[in-house]
Structure 1
Amino acid sequence: MTILPWLHPDRVAALEATLARRILVIDGAMGTMIQRHQLEETDYRGERFADGFDSRQAGGADRQGHDLKGNNDLLTLSRPDVIAAIHAEYLDAGADLVETNTFNATAISQADYHLQHLVHELNREGARIARECCDAAEASTPDKPRFVIGVLGPTSRTASISPDVNDPGFRNTSFDQLRENYREAAEGLIDGGADVLMVETIFDTLNAKAALFAIEEVFEARGGRLPVMISGTITDASGRTLSGQTAEAFYASVAHGKPLSIGLNCALGAKDLRPHVETLSRIAEGYVSAHPNAGLPNAFAEYDETPEEMATTLKEFAESGLLNFVGGCCGTTPDHIRAIAEAVAGVAPRKPPSATLAEAA
């Protein structure tokens, strides 16, 4: 891998210094918080899409008949006030890093809403809003730097598994298509001011490899790089990703990218995730992260694990020397993040073999 300078050396130095001192707290679920606002179709459309088309697109391509409700990434453009308020709540709760509202901001995923043309803008504005919120938080607490994680989600397609049980060899995407999707998204996140890029909720390692390849292409073109975080998903009690890898195999597959951190998120609650985080902690050369769900969903697809329960479990992770980053995924709220931040405060971070960001470059 080509050695390139950091795009934001001062921010990287601040991140490195903070990681050396303590466990850093990532924010919680964006989708869970959006659901609390009980938004309707008109909210998702805003003024720009109110008449059934994108009023800023040349020619005003017809969008009639395509509901936009549920496209949470679009709220970055139609209801930026909602997204900024959620970021601010997590920062007030003690988060050191906030994730951009860009989980589905790729052409593949936005195609479901016929909004592929918005991908760069969605990522740029997602990062810009998060950047403004972090800057505002830093202004009131200058001794506590805050960082923007530019999120690259898994997309709605998989390169390793056929969606057709009757045709195991069929694929509805390709490495090159994924690579182009991720490259466009990464460009927007960098333009918007992200400090770090995170390829997260990885269920298919081949998808992740396409993302990492695309990110490196972007770095090469820009002549500089950002730290990269990687977070996979153990899908069930089998202890494997959807594409069949154990945590150890997953790490071996992506370690060549020299990520800032490797970790796990989503699908499982903290208790079920623990053995897999322990595996990564034992073998990872860089930092280790975990942002699990608030337990497993109940019969109503809701998450019942309380902030106190989750914080108690994750405190044990920290005291066992497993963590450098910790946060929450599905079902978590600012109350969960506040409890987690309080629980890990003062607990020494895991000391990785490669203890500096310079070695991860």
Structure 2
Amino acid sequence: MTAKYRHNLPQLGDRIFLLDGGLETTLIFQEGVDLPLFAAFDLLSSAEGEQRLEDYFRPYIDIARQSRRGLILETPTWRASKVWADQLGYSAEELAEANRRAVALAERIRERHETADTPMVISGCIGPKGDGYDPSEAPSIDEARAYHQAQVDTFSDSAADLVAALTMNTVDEAIGIAQAAQSAGIPLVISFTTETDGRLPSGVTLAEAIRTVDEVTGGAPAYYMINCAHPEHFQQALDPGEDWTRRIRGLRANASRKSHEELDGSTELDEGNPAELGQLYASLRERFGHLTLLGGCCGTDDRHIRAIDACCRH
């Protein structure tokens, strides 16, 4: 139960770490898994479901080991918080146990597959309280801290090396989660999502979002990421000369150029073009060498990560 890297996160160095692709979209659209509410954590309730999650990570492990990259093992817990668990009939203790089981699964994967060339960092994944695309009912700072504290505390008491809040669409919720992580004494990553104009769904610019979170929390996040948006949606918002841009170390881009509204209304998966996505990542790394955590989001799978890995050799 002891966290291996919590006090010395290896991804803070210069080497590239890979992340997986779009877990939920892969399971639903490619493997035909029924995931109510996109709640992948529900699979942990059965041995068969747990095995499916372990199998999902195998190609990413292979890519990382073949290329001698580090690997971030993101737990399948984006929906493993009270609002979503209540709808699935989970009690508070059952929800906490699901989060613990998710970390335990990552531990077993690390024990079996980690090498000196491929360190594997366990990241406890946190999602927004509400819809990741719709900020209209997002919590205040105090509400967000109170809401997310339980999941953060569960990860803090586990072998998770850090927590990662993905698909954040408001500054206040990001600050609340950061405060919860500070209280629990566990490193934190904030990953914002953007619309096609490079702004958060709440209308705030990435610059405003990162600067405000850092100002209010004393720079609490270890780093920031961007997820669930195509590179063409956010690349023009990044400024090589700005300190806030250097706080962004990771990308989990969508393969699709569709807007969030279009993705919400899609009945088929838009896988985009893996080779093209790899080239876009390489172009971004040419401009922003500090982007060292490379993964995918909606519509991406191991083909996209393999292409990203191949294109980002330096």
State the TM-score, normalizing by the size of structure 2.
0.83
SS at 1:302 equivalent? coil
1:253 corresponds to 2:215: no
270 and 75 in structure 1: CA distance in 2 versus 1, 3 angstrom threshold? same
What letter matches 1:37 in structure 2? E
- Unaligned runs of at least 5 residues, structure 1: 1-6, 45-67, 164-170, 220-225, 348-361
Q: Which amino acid aligns with 1:103?
A: W
Q: Which amino acid aligns with 1:39?
A: V
Contact 1:154 1:200 in 2 (8 A): yes
> Match of 1:240?
199
Deviations 1:43-66 (A, max 9, x none): x7xxxxxxxxxxxxxxxxxxxxxx
Quote the Cα distance in structure 2 between the aligned partners of 1:316 and 1:80: 37
Q: Structure 2: where are the runs of 5+ without partners?
A: 65-69
Alignment correspondent of 1:269: 230
Q: State the Cα distance separating 1:180 from its structure 2 match.
A: 2.8
Tell me the CA shift for residue 9 of structure 1: 6.7
- CA apart distance, 1:23: 2.2
Q: What is residue 34 of structure 1 aligned with on the other side?
A: 27
Q: Quick one: structure 1 residues 34 and 304, their matched pair in 2 at CA, closer, same or farther if it must change by over 3 Å?
A: closer
Once the two structures are TM-superposed, the CA of residue 233 in structure 1 deviates from its matched residue by 0.9
Amino acid aligned to 1:317? L
| Residues 182 and 220 in structure 2, CA contact (< 8 A), matched pair in contact too | no
Q: 1:202 to 1:251 in 2, by over 3 A?
A: same
- Following the alignment from structure 2 to structure 1, what is the Cα–Cα distance between the partners of residues 136 and 147? 19
Counterpart residue identity of residue 192, structure 2: G
Q: Secondary structure at the match of 1:335?
A: helix
Kindly indicate whether the alpha-carbon contact (under 8 Å) linking 2:226 and 2:251 is maintained by their aligned counterparts in 1. yes
Aligned pairs (5 A) from 1:142-157: 142-156=116-130
Question: How far apart are the structure 2 equivalents of 1:161 and 1:313?
Answer: 28
CA distance in 2, matches of 1:278, 1:86: 35
Contact 1:123 1:192 in 2 (8 A): no
Identity %: 23
How many angstroms does 1:300 deviate by?
Answer: 4.0
CA contact (8 A) 1:247 1:280 kept: no
* 2:51 aligned with 1:77: no
Over the aligned positions, Cα root-mean-square deviation in angstroms equals 2.7
Structure 2 counterpart of 1:333, from 284, 288, 301: 301
Hey, what does 1:109 align to over in structure 2? 84
Determine which structure has more spread, i.e. the larger CA radius of gyration: 1
Partner of residue 312, structure 2: 344
Instruction: Give 3-state SS (helix, strand or coil) of 2:251's partner.
Output: strand
Q: How far apart, CA to CA, are the structure 2 residues paired with 1:284 and 1:103?
A: 25
Match of 1:134 in 2: 110
Q: 1:305 to 1:12 in 2, by over 3 A?
A: farther
What is the 5 A alignment of 1:40-119?
A: 40=34, 70-78=38-46, 79-94=49-64, 96-117=71-92, 118-119=94-95
The answer (yes or no) to whether the contact 1:123–1:186 under 8 Å persists in 2 is no
Q: Which residue of 2 aligns with 1:223?
A: none
CA deviation after TM superposition for structure 1 residue 157, in Å: 5.8
Map 1:167-316 → 2, pairs under 5 A: 175-219=141-185, 226-237=186-197, 239-255=198-214, 256-266=218-228, 268-278=229-239, 282-284=243-245, 286=247, 288-297=249-258, 300-316=267-283
- 1:11-31: CA deviation from partner (whole Å, max 9, x where unpaired): 644x43x54342222221110
SS of the residue corresponding to residue 231 of structure 1 reads strand
Q: How far does the alpha carbon of each residue in 1:118-161 deviate from its partner, in whole angstroms, 9 at most, with x for none?
A: 221121111111221122211xx332211111111112269x96
Check if 1:24 corresponds to 2:17.
yes
Cα separation, 1, equivalents of 2:43 and 2:219: 32
**Is the CA contact 2:156–2:184 (under 8 Å) kept in the aligned structure 1?**
no
Residue 312 of structure 2 corresponds to residue 318 of structure 1: no
Decide whether aligned partners of structure 1 residues 80 and 90 sit closer, same or farther in structure 2, where only a CA change above 3 A counts: same
Deviation at 1:315, TM superposition (A): 0.7
Change (3 A) 1:279 1:121: farther
Which amino acid in the other structure matches residue 131 of structure 1?
Answer: E
Q: Deviations over 1:89-121 (max 9, x none)?
A: 222222611211000111022222232422211
Corresponding residue of 2:67? none
Q: SS of 2:257's equivalent? A: coil
Contact 2:224 2:249 (8 Å CA) reproduced? yes
What SS is found at the alignment partner of 1:257?
coil
